[in-house]
Chains A and B, each alone.
Chain A
Amino acid sequence: MNLSFHQMADPIHQFQVQKLFELNIGGLDLSFTNASFYMLLGVALIIIFFGLAASRGKLVPSRSQSIAEVGYGFVADMVRGAAGEEGLKFFPFVFTLFFFVFFANMIGMVPYAFTTTSHLIVTAALALLVISIVIVYGFYKNGLKFLKLFAPSGAPWPIYFLLVPIEIISFFARPVTLALRLFANMLAGHIMLKLFAGFAAQLFGAAFAGAIALSAVGLLAFAMGVALNALELLVAGLQAYVFAILTCVYLNDALHPSH
C-alpha cells in the first residue's frame, strides 16, 4: 500500500517511459512504449476527427464538422498572417504540427495519460524538423540570397560586424528555444499538477488518520490543483499555438529572407 501511495505522489513518475512491446531492429531498441501509445492515440484521434469531418463534407456542417473547419480556418489564417499567401504551401505541415502538439498536450491533461510533448527528444525532433525545412527551403528558393537573412539591409556597414553574429546566433537559438519552450512548459506544468494533487491526497490522508487541522491545508492544495488544471489547459493550447506560429514566422524567413 505504502509503495503505490509513494508512486502516486512522485511527480516524476508520470514521465517514465515503459515498454509495451519489445521491438529490436538492427540493434536499435525501437520498442513500442507508453509514449508511442499516446502518440498513436493522438494521431488516430486527429485522423478520425478531421477524417470524419472531411468525409461527411456537408454544405451545412454538423457540429463536429464545424469545429474541424474552424480548426482548418484557424491554422490557415495563422499561416497566411505570419508567412503570407506563399506560406500556404506549408499549410499541411503547420496544420499537422499544430494538431499533433495540441492533441498531445490535451491528451496529457487527462489524468494518468502520458504527455508525449513532455519529452525533450520529441520536441527537439520537431524543432529540428522545422528548422531543417526552413534552411533547406530557404536555400532552395532563394539560393545564396537566403544568407541575407543574417544581414538585414539598411544598417550602416560597421554595424554589420555586430549584427551578423547576433543574427546567426539568434537563428540557431530558434530550434533550441522552440524545443525547450514546449518541453519545459509541459514538464513543469505536469510536475506542478502532480505535486499539488499529491499534497492534497497526502494531507487529506493525514486528516483522515486524525490530524484534522491538516484538512484545511489539504483543501487549499486541492483548490490550487484545480486552478492549476485550468492554467495547464490554457498552457496546453497556448504552447501548441506558440509552436505553430513560430514555425510560421521561421518559414516566413525562408520565403522572404530580406525581411
Chain B
Amino acid sequence: MMFMTVAAEAAGGSAAFPPFETWHFPSQLFWLTLLFGVLYIALSRFILPKLGGVIEKRGDTIADALDEAARLNEEAKEAKKAQELHLAEARAKARETSDKARAKVDAEIAADTQKVDADLAERLADAEQRIQKVRSDALANVETIAADTTQAILSRFGVSVSEADAKAAVARATKN
C-alpha cells in the first residue's frame, strides 16, 4: 500500500485508480475517435480494397492458370488420341504393304520354281531318252560282239558259220 501512495504522489498527488480518473476521459475519447477514424478511413478506403484486390487477382490468376492447364490437358489427350489413330492407320498400311510384297514374292518364287521344275523335267526326259538310246545301242553291239565271238570260237574249232546264223543262234541263246 505504501508503494502505491508513494507512486501516486510521485505521479501528481492524486491517489485515484488511473482508469477511473476522469480528467483524461475527454482526451482519451478525442484521440480514440481521431485515431480510430483515421485508421478506419485508411483501411477501408485505401488499404483493404487494394489488399483484397491483390488476393482476388491472385485467385483469378490461379483459376485462369488451372483452366488453361485443363484446356491444354484436354488438347494433349486429343492429340494423343489422334496420334494413336494415326499410328494404327500407319500400322495397317504397313501390314498391307508387307502382305502385298510377300504375296508378290511368293508368286514370283512359285513361277520360278515351276519354270525350273519344267526345265529340269525336260532335261531329265532328254537324258533318259539318251540313256535309253545308248543302252539299246550297246545291247545291239553286244549281239554283234556275241555273234562275232561265236564265229571266232567256232572258226577255231574249224567250223565256219555264216554271220546271219551266228546272230540267230545268239538271239536264241539270249532269249532264254
Contacts and interface: CB of A to CB of B under 8 A. Distances in A.
A50 B31 contact: no
A9 interface: yes
Interface in A119-164: 119-122, 125-126, 129
Interface string A190-215: 00000000000000000000000000
Contacts of B43: 46-47, 50, 92, 95-96
Contact of B7 (A6, A58, A69, A121): A6
Nearest to A32: B31
Interface residues of B, number: 44
Interface in B2-26: 2-4, 6-8, 10-11, 17-21, 23-26
Contact of A40 (B3, B35, B48, B57): B35
Looking at chain A's contact residues, the main secondary structure is helix
Interface residues of A, number: 55
Interface in A82-101: 91-93, 95-96, 100
Given A72-B51, A72-B52, A28 B19 contact: no
A51 B42 contact: yes
A35 B26 CA distance: 12
B40 A96 contact: yes
A3 B4 CA distance: 11
B32 A9 contact: no
B46 A187 contact: no
B32 A125 contact: yes
A30 B19 contact: no
Contact of A30 (B3, B30, B38): B30
20 contacts: A6-B3, A7-B7, A10-B6, A12-B8, A13-B7, A28-B30, A29-B23, A33-B24, A33-B28, A35-B27, A35-B28, A43-B38, A47-B43, A57-B51, A59-B57, A72-B51, A92-B43, A95-B48, A120-B20, A129-B36
Interface of A: 3, 6-7, 9-10, 12-13, 15-18, 23, 28-33, 35-36, 39-40, 43, 46-47, 50-51, 53-55, 57-59, 61, 65, 68-69, 72-73, 91-93, 95-96, 100, 118-122, 125-126, 129, 183, 187
Interface of B: 2-4, 6-8, 10-11, 17-21, 23-33, 35-36, 38-40, 42-44, 46-48, 50-55, 57-58, 61
